[in-house]
Amino acid sequence: MAEEQSTFTHGVVRIFPDGLLYPGTTPRFLNRIQSFKSGTTWMQEILWTMLFNPNLDNPQATQLLLVRSASISVDMMFDTVKLEELNLESMYEALKKLCPGKNVEDGVGVQCLDAMPGQRVIKCHYPLDLMPPDLLDKTKVVYVARNPKDMVGSYYHFYKVIKKIYYKGSMDTFMKLFMDKDVVFCPYWPHIKQAWQKRNHPNLQFVFYEDLKADPQEEIRKLNQFLATGLTEQQLKNVVHHTSFSSMKSRGDPMPDNGLYNQELHQTTGGFYRKGVIGDWKNHFSQELNQEMDKWIKENIGDSSIPFKMD
């Protein structure tokens, strides 16, 4: 792993057989998740709004998204910084309320989700192989996939603004690290292929980011059927409007100014909701880099025939 990203407090670990590169605290939290009884930030907000705020009148909607719908992988993601350095009062208050007497160091997201009553919307960055083996027998899973060119561009900008990583290398260098499986949360292909192979499972909805961007009403209509939420046409329109890129951006970052971001760079690059467009990779890739990535995609996509839309 490159020096520019070697800032995780507990180092990093490789998880085999796929060689997944994750923060060093991951095994500790995976042990909890494997016994847990149970997409992107955009999908997270869409699903929460569909289930709990279709009329746009739920007062809880003003809470941070991470409080309303915590991430099961959020604790290991904070391994770049000591918890006491983060301004996460809202999450700590949720932990105190749901899990009185519990220790923050044992995980905020995992413990809150474990204690939440009733129906929950849970976000996770882990591949299916790291989740409970009976996950799809008990849970509805919405998997969001984005074309690898735009995804890695978005990830590059995210890496640059995280204060404790503060990646200073070029996009070309980052891309090569990404393709060589030397960026944390890589490799890309085993993750997406595991979900693609299960795309016809009745409890898994495979969603392409590009389709959601091109026709959000149609994709949310499909989710309405998949989740059996029974929303009316007006409620579907409410969800589409409330979860549009412009609406979410106007409400601000889903995380507070908590010491996690380099705020100056964060704001100059567009904040958490940076662009949300399809084909932005064209503004950043050199011809040589694009050719390298095309070759990498061809070598790895194999016979899976995942129908990516690059622009």
Active site residues: 125
Q: Which two tokens stand for residue 279?
A: 């084909």
CA dist list (Å): 230 to 32, 56, 186, 224, 244: 33, 16, 37, 6, 21
- In a 10 Å sphere around its CB, with 0-12 CB exposed, 13-18 middle and 19+ buried, how is residue 78 labelled? buried
Sequence-ordered strand ranges (E) for the chain: 12-15, 20-23, 141-145, 204-208
Sequence-ordered strand ranges (E) for 146-266: 204-208
Q: 């998997």: which residue's tokens?
A: 143
At residue 134, what is the residue type? D
Counted residue by residue, the chain has a size of 311
Sign of CA dihedral 175, 180, 181, 183: negative
Which residue, 271, 232, 235, is CA-closest to 255?
271
Sign of CA dihedral 238, 243, 247, 253: positive
Peptide bond into 187 cis (omega under 30): yes
